[in-house]
Structure 1
Amino acid sequence: MNQGDRAFLGHPRGLAYLLFTEAWERFSYYGMQSLLALYLVKHLLQPGQADGLLFFDAFRQLYGGLDGQPLASAIVGTYFASVYVTPILGGLVADRLLGRHRTVLLGALTMMAGHFLMAVQAAFLPALGLLVLGSGLFKGNLASQIGALYGRDDPRRDGAFQLYYLGINIGLIAAPLVIGTLAETRGWHVGFAVAGVGMAIATIIYLAGRRHLPVDERGSRSERRMRMTGQDLRGLLGIILLIPLLAVALLPNNQIFNAYLIWGDAHLELTLGGLRVPTSWLITLDAGLGLTILAGLPFVYRRYARHRPEPGDLAKLTIGSLFATGGMLCLALGSALAGA
């Protein structure tokens, strides 16, 4: 890539296309995710609604006779887990078969089909399958292109990832306000269809910017295979050791889209100016507060560093995980007190 390219806020032009592609993809992804648990509990798993769903009777048996809200939460949890596993497949497809660009495009088209199929009630399970597969093909292969825009020692790299994650948060904040509102006021199928439109926009942006993105390395497998150094192995071991710590933070975070939404819909007084607001807005509230704290943390750590050494990356991950766990414990306490 041309290291002198500073067309987008001092960064390569390709970053703009990757950022806006990701923002629209996250808009569609989190929009659908903010609906899924509520859609299952309030509509699809109501008496008679699941009749005629493709493959659903056999699928239900996997959960040992669960029904209603427990079944809904189990389905949502299975979907979330699958979305985190399939990027491994996406990486293999990109590295060994199609390359990153084709894999991203295939993933985008697959997710778009899944979002639009979610608007067809009978196709619920095939739609979920397409979304899981498409996300696996898309996710890691888009993000990995950011680093390839820069040289190894380019100081702009860290700032590029900060902008990229800002795009993710913008999509997360906007999705419940638009998709959630339409789904809860105009109908579930409308919300799912709008998520499909968001994915279509992401696909168009990606195609428009392909000439500004890193070229796929298309050498033979033997040419591309490199022996891992001792430093690489230590880094890999560190990542493996971080998995339990990150899981502690991810588990309660994902419950924001599952148990928290279901409980909030049933127990919280969701009114603003005398009007009932959509339950999915709880996601926007959570994301907005998180983004505000994220923006303020550098100033907090800078002030802290005046008096004592700034915590390292591992310590910061630990602090964040403890806050995430503490937040979920507070919700558990609130639920228990409300039940009492």
Structure 2
Amino acid sequence: MMRAIRLKSPAGLDNLTVGTAETGSVGPHQIRVRLHASSLNYHDYIVVLGGIPTPDGRIPMSDGAGEVTEIGAGVTDFAVGDRVVSTFFPLWLAGQPELANMAEVPGDRTDGYAREEVVAAANAFTHAPKGYSHAEAATLTCAALTAWRALFVEASLQPGETVLVQGSGGVSIFALQFAKAAGATVIATSSSKAKLDRLADLGADHLINYREDEKWGRTARALTGGRGVDHVVEIGGAGTLTQSIAATRLSGSIALIGVLAGVAGNVATAAIMSGNVRIAGLTVGSRAQQTAMIRAIEANGIRPVIDSSFALEDIAAAFRHQASQAHFGKICLEW
């Protein structure tokens, strides 16, 4: 038996309890991983609040990182002692998203990684970047891969292009880091001067305080000489999409990856049509995309920005810190 966080019914932060779980034996094409870290995502927050219904006693958390302690027959990609990080969609190995390969999400449709150990298919993990701590590796599964897919899979980002990122959460900061590594110009928005200063320290070329500038889309366009930005990493949803459309150049792209500012609202359909704007909704990515991202991380020396770490048993406090929106970068659990 091992320690595991259980989400008791009815869901809510007060019903995250420390319990136990069994891992079982390792079968063919499986590995046993001693988990050491996870990181918080908005998806996990919705799960623990009950916005995504789960069975009573579900183990939450979609991100997990640790060390391989046992391998099953037929496993060739990993050896005992390897440091690994989980994938968001264990069944989506490569290719286009399909219902079948997006059918399992740890912490949601199956038990997640808020526990000390797991036995899983070897394909449910990839190698972690060399030199990364377990906490650093745990930030990659959801936030980093979402940013990577938005920029390099969907948008085919090229050097010299302009990217607009919103806020200072994990996806936005990874998008900033990836875009700068690719030779792009980055416009960053936030409502906090202190956070804008930190985004500048990470390489943001232009800064916009959206609380002081309600028409920040027009401002972003002006920063490009009136042409418009090439790509937007849109995390707000309905509440910010109109401004993102206003910022985007003719035939530019918007990667819709979040709904932090609203799940429904008025959409400027005429502006989308006349601007030939491409809007692609996307949810994380495949194992092959994660492997490609990790190669790029190692080649460029990119390190995640970690705001803070909490003990596993303090998971509710970690989510309350996330809800406060005071954080900059990723919030992690370590044990």
**TM-score, with structure 2 as normaliser:** 0.24
Larger relative strand fraction: 2
Larger relative helix fraction: 1
| Structure of higher RCO (CA pairs closer than 8 Å, 6+ residues apart) | 1
**TM-score, with structure 1 as normaliser:** 0.24
